[in-house]
Amino acid sequence: MAMISIDAVSKWYGSFQVLADCTTQIDRGEVVVVCGPSGSGKSTLIKCINALEPFQQGSITVDGTRVNDPATNLPRLRARVGMVFQHFELFPHLSITENLALAQVQVLGRSREESMDRGLKLLDRVGLREHASKFPGQLSGGQQQRVAIARALAMDPIAMLFDEPTSALDPEMINEVLDVMVELAREGMTMVVVTHEMGFARKVAHRVVFMDQGRIVEDRAKEAFFGESAQAGLSVRAREFLSKILSH
């Protein structure tokens, strides 16, 4: 059974439709890259998965729990789905270790000691152990984003959502973040990644979803999206998009 199942989701801001009849599924351990021009609704779609954005039609199920059911305990569901944001969103008034421990203590009810321990192990993993006592504002963008990934992993998520995790970074910092994500993908984490990093998609994605004007235009296995022979089968819109972002 699919871990995340998105079924005919539509969303409007007033009379403007941002999502139109979006349907797709993400299996356990699958890495799905979502791409498309800006304003195509890709960020909105992944924020619907953990109900940060409400939607008016359709339904989303995460590990058997219906997101848009009023009876669903949303905080509990969100605690199980990690999310990484474009602008990192570390808590600037807390040290790196406090950032990692806060939700573990307050949401999962872990002891402070255990949370700190777990936080430090994850910092080790993203190569930032020596920055543990610093504050977010003292780290570079790439470092902050790696901390943000560690913070999400500290909750032992069943899946991870990435909302343009590298698009606010200086070019030289993109790779350090992508490396962490590649490693995570290879360990079998279920991931939905909104990104324009096609190199990342080629390397670890199982499937690529292409969106335009709120619709899912393409939803294909990686080989059927990037392969030479596949190009002919793609929609005009997707081919245009790909030629633009792959040309340099």
Q: Which stretches of the chain bind another protein, using CB under 8 A? A: 47, 50, 52, 75-83, 85, 87, 89-93, 102-103, 106-108, 135, 137-138, 151-152, 155
**Residue 18, token pair as written in the block:** 């941002």
Minimum distance of another protein from residue 139's CB (angstroms): 10
CA atoms within 13 A on the CB side of 48: 30
Which residue number, 20 or 74, has a Cβ lying nearer to another protein?
Answer: 74
Which residue number, 28 or 80, has a Cβ lying nearer to another protein?
Answer: 80
Minimum distance of another protein from residue 141's CB (angstroms): 13
Query: What is the DSSP code string of 81-96?
Result: EEEE-TT----TTS-H
Residue at token pair 């995340």: 4
Which residue number, 9 or 155, has a Cβ lying nearer to another protein?
Answer: 155
Which residue number, 71 or 232, has a Cβ lying nearer to another protein?
Answer: 71
The answer to whether 193 and 32 are in contact (CB under 8 A) is yes
Pairing of strands 159-163, 81-84: parallel
The answer to whether 72 and 66 are in contact (CB under 8 A) is yes
**Residue 84, token pair as written in the block:** 């990484």
| CA 66 to chain CA centroid, nearest Å | 19
Which residue number, 11 or 151, has a Cβ lying nearer to another protein?
Answer: 151
**Residue 110, token pair as written in the block:** 């872990």
Minimum distance of another protein from residue 153's CB (angstroms): 11
The answer to whether 159 and 192 are in contact (CB under 8 A) is yes
